[in-house]
Structure 1
Amino acid sequence: MAKPVISFQNVSFRYDENQPWVLKNVSFEIHKNEWVAIIGHNGSGKSTIAKLLNGLLFPQKGEIAINGKPINEETVWDIRKEVGMVFQNPDNQFVGATVQDDVAFGMENRGIPREEMEKRIDETLQAVGMGEYRLTEPHRLSGGQKQRVAIASVLAVSPEVLILDEATAMLDPRGREEIMHTVANLQQSKELALITITHDLHEVVQADRVIVMNEGEIWDEGLPREIFSKKDELQKIGLDVPFITALAAELQKNGIALQREPLYGEELLEDLWTLYSKM
């Protein structure tokens, strides 16, 4: 099996030695071209994982490696060239007077030649549907447009890992759907390791794998369908399930025997059609 892009090995972290551990002996691996969603209630440790991956924090115990290179104070600047992060509020990431200035900023810090910078600015802005806004001032953009530019700025430095830390939380449902459609296409075309930390269950069901955090530990991990089949257990730790999953459960309680645990509306309709066509 190919070596993982991300390796968490027995990682523990706390913000102060007098406080409880935020993460407790956490281990997992993420591979190239894999989309992993990390979910959990507030305070479960999921955003701390994101900050550890980008070298904003360092673990007190255990080891984190990107492409086999441990993250520490000596390697952190090299690691940040490989790990890009998009936060909840894109305003916190803008530094340029125009959209193109902002996308160029990270590349300038890495000494990328001007000709290559121009090429990447064009490519990344086109990729996120913001090519025509190249000379626009960021404060004139909508929330969804700002988030697209923030993603373009990260992609321009060609990371191998893209982390979205509640990056769609401030957007309306249509904006969230558009951003995640863009990100999913980019992840596939660039073969990124994608990590989404989110409360949006629609995003979670699209992932290849789900890691569920609870009180600083990995409570479970698996395919979205496997995770959401544990409806009662998830609700006990303060997590919800997708609407379709909940609706299917109610139908089965009322004697409607479905063929599977549907995650999507199309699956539920197909099962209902198959069931009633036999009646």
Structure 2
Amino acid sequence: MEKSQIEFRNVSFRYHDDSPWVLKNVSFTIHSDEWLAIIGHNGSGKSTIAKLMNGLLFPQEGEIYVSGEKVVPETIWDVRKQVGMVFQNPDNQFVGTTVRDDVAFGMENHGLPREVMVERIQESLDAVGMQEYERQEPHRLSGGQKQRVAIASVLAVSPKYMIFDEATAMLDPKGRMEIMQTIRDLQSERSLSVVTITHDLREVTQADRVIVMNDGEVWMEGTPRDVFSKKNRLVEIGLDTPFVSKLAEEMKSAGLPLSREPLNHQELLEELWTLDSTR
């Protein structure tokens, strides 16, 4: 097994001994520098996967490895140095009275020297475009700004993996787009392995690979283009498809031959341009 990856091996989990299994024999690998999106409807098990990666929960069956190290209570602090997590509600992650204090908190817990902390605070806030808000009180920030600070707080401890668990669910469309752009930039600039957990298929087009969860099991796996091409199957398990995919399907039904499944508006326009130029 490669060291720079996360691996689930036949993982099953339930919250109580007499409750249904939330995850059932789940196996997959997250590779170094990969962006993996995990999607599914509410109750499909995707957020439980996020908590298992970070050691907030432990499986009843199976094994989880982070960079070759098994996730067990004895290794949990080493694992959490490598796996950073950004949750749906950033207010739940704030502990400091200022943005600066909040970004410093995780580094203090890891015992980093002050000079290192000062440098990383600046680097992390710069990375998410929040350097001007260093002395601001977190509760005075907008939803998108709060989420950026939450990301900076995780970045400051230099994780290998970053998990975004429904990180845009509470944001308006503009804030959602800004956070997704921030994630894209960070993933490319810092060579992070990124995991985005979501039920919104519009957010997965930038991912390298997609895992679709259904009823606690890995139901489908592939590139975003592969997954979006199976619209009818996604609808069967209660997942809506992006507007671009719906429009492309209508075009195909009308007899317009598309050469590929468009992932966004730009690709759809390119397909239309190609069709027009061949007529």
TM-score w.r.t. the length of structure 1 is 0.98
- One-letter amino acid matched to 1:187: Q
CA shift at 1:3, angstroms? 4.3
1:232 aligns with 232
Q: Deviations over 1:123-150 (max 9, x none)?
A: 0001100001001111111110000000
2:200 aligns with 200
CA shift at 1:2, angstroms? 4.7
Q: Deviations over 1:175-212 (max 9, x none)?
A: 11111111111111111110000123222111000000
CA shift at 1:274, angstroms? 1.8
1:112 aligns with 112
Q: Is this contact kept in 1: 2:42–2:199, CA < 8 A?
A: no
- One-letter amino acid matched to 1:30: I
1:16 aligns with 16
List 4+ stretches of structure 1 deviating above 2 A: 1-4, 199-202, 276-279
TM-score w.r.t. the length of structure 2 is 0.98
Query: Aligned equivalents of 1:62 and 1:267: distance in 2?
Result: 41
In the alignment, does 2:259 pair up with 1:270? no
Which secondary structure does the structure 2 equivalent of 1:75 belong to?
Answer: helix
Greater alpha carbon shift after TM alignment, 78-87 vs 250-259: 250-259
Query: Aligned equivalents of 1:99 and 1:235: distance in 2?
Result: 42
CA shift at 1:67, angstroms? 0.2
1:54 aligns with 54
In the alignment, does 2:74 pair up with 1:74? yes
Query: Aligned equivalents of 1:148 and 1:201: distance in 2?
Result: 22
1:165 aligns with 165
Which secondary structure does the structure 2 equivalent of 1:181 belong to?
Answer: helix
- One-letter amino acid matched to 2:240: D
Query: Aligned equivalents of 1:148 and 1:185: distance in 2?
Result: 13
In the alignment, does 2:156 pair up with 1:156? yes
Query: Aligned equivalents of 1:81 and 1:278: distance in 2?
Result: 54
CA shift at 1:272, angstroms? 1.6
Q: Is this contact kept in 2: 1:96–1:105, CA < 8 A?
A: yes
Q: Is this contact kept in 2: 1:164–1:195, CA < 8 A?
A: yes
Q: Is this contact kept in 2: 1:207–1:224, CA < 8 A?
A: yes
Which secondary structure does the structure 2 equivalent of 1:180 belong to?
Answer: helix
Q: Is this contact kept in 1: 2:39–2:200, CA < 8 A?
A: no
Which secondary structure does the structure 1 equivalent of 2:55 belong to?
Answer: coil
Q: Is this contact kept in 2: 1:168–1:176, CA < 8 A?
A: yes
- The gaps in structure 1 that reach 5 residues or longer are none
Which secondary structure does the structure 1 equivalent of 2:20 belong to?
Answer: coil
Q: CA RMSD, aligned part only?
A: 1.1
Query: Aligned equivalents of 1:4 and 1:26: distance in 2?
Result: 20
Which secondary structure does the structure 1 equivalent of 2:238 belong to?
Answer: coil
- One-letter amino acid matched to 1:163: I
In the alignment, does 2:133 pair up with 1:133? yes
Query: Aligned equivalents of 2:267 and 2:183: distance in 1?
Result: 24
1:252 aligns with 252
- One-letter amino acid matched to 1:261: E
Q: Map of 1:202-217 to 2, 5 A cutoff?
A: 202-217=202-217
Query: Aligned equivalents of 2:16 and 2:253: distance in 1?
Result: 47
Which secondary structure does the structure 1 equivalent of 2:81 belong to?
Answer: coil
Query: Aligned equivalents of 2:31 and 2:55: distance in 1?
Result: 19
Query: Aligned equivalents of 2:271 and 2:217: distance in 1?
Result: 36
Q: Is this contact kept in 2: 1:3–1:31, CA < 8 A?
A: no
- Count of equivalent residues: 279
In the alignment, does 2:226 pair up with 1:221? no
- The gaps in structure 2 that reach 5 residues or longer are none
Q: Deviations over 1:144-185 (max 9, x none)?
A: 000000000000000111000000111111111111111111
Q: Map of 1:79-94 to 2, 5 A cutoff?
A: 79-94=79-94
Q: Is this contact kept in 1: 2:2–2:68, CA < 8 A?
A: no
Query: Aligned equivalents of 2:272 and 2:158: distance in 1?
Result: 45
